[in-house]
Structure 1
Amino acid sequence: MSSIQKTTRLARIGMIAAAYAAASIMTLLFLSGLAWGPVQFRVSEALVVLALFTVDAVPGLALGCVIANVVNVVLSGSGALGLFDVVFGSCATLFGAWITWRLRDNPKLALLGPVLANALIVSAYLPIILAGLGFYTIPFTSISLEGTYPFMYLFGFIATGLGEAVVLYVLGLPLATALSKASFIQKMKEEA
């Protein structure tokens, strides 16, 4: 691989990371935190479709997730509890993007990877963060989940999985269709 190719890949990874982080932070600032919490519609996850076109999206999305989650720790004041999201949430994005890349020949199936990765991983640590922040009820209800990790995990699995599926299939698939017609995407696919 030439130094120009390495530089191009590094720049692509950086641009994808910046786009993901910016979209996550915008969601946090303008959509009342729908990018974090027990019910999530992280609009930036639609960018996972970039992994259908380039392997560079895998580290780019993961890095963008790290940046966004660190910014959330600072803005929300969640402290050490927020580090769960920085580490494990970013791992979920990394794993989901990797599955998307591996299954890229079947986009509808490929996008199921991030849905499952986020539903399984985020749900495992979300109850710990929420309990630490004093959150014990299912949003929009008065149903308390205090001290019931299995129910909190199940609720998180369903809520996170559904939110991720909505974002990926309602926003991500049309984005992938539009991008697949772009000339720069065709060039990236040829480089892969």
Structure 2
Amino acid sequence: MKASYLARVGIIAAAYAAASLASLLFLGSLAWGPIQFRVSEALCVLALITPAAIPGLTLGCVIANVINMVITGSGALGLLDVVFGSLATCIGALISWKLREKPLLALAGPVLTNALIVPAYLPILLMGIGYYTIPFTSIQLDGAWFAMYVFGLIATGAGEAVIMYVLGRPLFYVLDRSPFGAHAVEVSS
């Protein structure tokens, strides 16, 4: 592997992990709970520009989820997020890379993978640490996995769609037209 490729992977991983942890700090349970409104997910647009984003985003997600596991004290249950949350990010980035010629469609990759995968394990993780209440309500869904999954599918999908299309799309267009955009990456690779 070229050093420049590895450097891109490392920079993307660091940026994603730092942005995820900033989301935890400023948005709390909106970034890590049932809604999954992580501003760092906007960086998934990098997968439309460089294949280095696929391992970079995945590694950044692993790092952020391991740190979150330590901060929240979720213990071994936090490994669900480390494994499956990072898998969702990896698959979403791979879909985005494969569909990069159609940016609006490519942005749906992370939306779909996160909406389908994260709600499947998140209720188990949250119930394991003793709670699950739909945000902004007093509705308890303990023991109702299917209801929690449906809520998570909608909430995570909506949160991810807002991040990808409201923040990620403009970020992609700015980066793509910069000296470091898709054309520059292809030429230097």
Do both share a fold (TM > 0.5)? yes
Q: Does 1:31 align with 2:30?
A: no
Deviates more, 1:33-42 or 1:175-184: 33-42
Q: Identity of paired residues, percent?
A: 65
Amino acid at match of 1:83: L
Of 72, 75, 86, which aligns to 1:79?
75
CA distance in 2, matches of 1:189, 1:37: 38
CA distance in 1, matches of 2:105, 2:130: 37
The aligned residue for residue 91 of structure 1 is 87
CA distance in 2, matches of 1:190, 1:67: 30
- SS for the counterpart of 1:39 is coil
TM-score (norm 2): 0.96
CA distance in 1, matches of 2:11, 2:81: 22
Deviates more, 1:141-150 or 1:94-103: 141-150
CA distance in 1, matches of 2:84, 2:64: 13
- SS for the counterpart of 1:131 is helix
CA distance in 2, matches of 1:43, 1:33: 13
CA distance in 2, matches of 1:119, 1:17: 22
CA distance in 1, matches of 2:27, 2:156: 17
- SS for the counterpart of 2:24 is helix
Structure 1, gaps ≥5 residues long: none
How much does 1:133 deviate?
1.6
The aligned residue for residue 65 of structure 2 is 69
The aligned residue for residue 150 of structure 1 is 146
Of 4, 8, 11, which aligns to 1:12?
8
Of 82, 100, 105, which aligns to 2:96?
100
Between Structure 1 and Structure 2, how many residues are aligned? Answer: 188
The answer to whether the 8 A contact 1:27-1:33 is kept is no
The aligned residue for residue 189 of structure 1 is 186
Of 108, 121, 130, which aligns to 2:117?
121
CA distance in 1, matches of 2:121, 2:29: 18
Amino acid at match of 2:120: A
CA distance in 2, matches of 1:68, 1:136: 22
Of 41, 45, 68, which aligns to 1:49?
45
